[in-house]
Amino acid sequence: MSIIVKICGLKRPEPLEAALAGGADMVGFVFFEKSPRHLELAEARQLSEQVRGRAEKVALVVNADDSRIASVIEALAPDWLQLHGAETPERVAQIRATFGLPILKALGVAEQADFLCAPDYEAVSDRLLFDAKPPKDSVLPGGNGLSFDWTLLRNHARLATKKNWMLSGGLDSENVGAAIRLTGAPGVDVSSGVEDAPGEKSAAKILAFIAAARAAA
């Protein structure tokens, strides 16, 4: 099977080039000031040019208002909007209708009950991203380097025939193959798992992750 590989939280040209040269399908940019991966709009404009035509650009926002989203879109010209906050299905639908971009909606998972809301979000999103729920005291909704029990996805039988979801949370080059084989994920997303320190991406780790994901698929 083919698999979608997304490298998220890119901030500098060199790691971004590694992701592009390595064949990542999607590259993500974080617009959330509390994150060590936060990108300023001026920087986004520069990186956007580097990506042009080589991969899909994803703009990650967290509980952003329309004005903020519009500013991000103007700077990055993304192919996707990733909503990684507590956006309700109604808010997701409104953002999708207002901006006319495909939506990647992140859902935090810690137990089987966390999948109960998935159909509501599936109805208004173009793709779901299942991520580990952050610790209660965390200021970051993702990128915490935590994984969840992947068998929960395997037990969520309706996903087996779906191609509109991705797996995230605690992935790296050492475990992504096992995660793909266990869950049958049609796509994987990594951020902290390809870093030397929070927000500091490693070109070598990015290339290793992409290679491991492709090998598993």
CB atoms within 10 A of CB 192: 23
Active-site residue, 131 included: yes
Tell me which of 8, 120, 137, 189 is the catalytic residue.
Answer: 8
- Pairwise CA distance, residues 62 & 69, whole Å: 10
Q: In this structure, is the dihedral angle defined by the CA atoms of residues 78, 82, 87 and 93, taken in order, positive or negative? A: positive
Active-site residue, 117 included: no
List CB contacts of 52: < 8 A, sequence separation 6 or more: none
Tell me which of 117, 126, 131, 196 is the catalytic residue.
Answer: 131
Residue 109 and residue 133 in contact, taking contact as beta carbons nearer than 8 Å: yes
Active centre residues (catalytic)? 8, 131
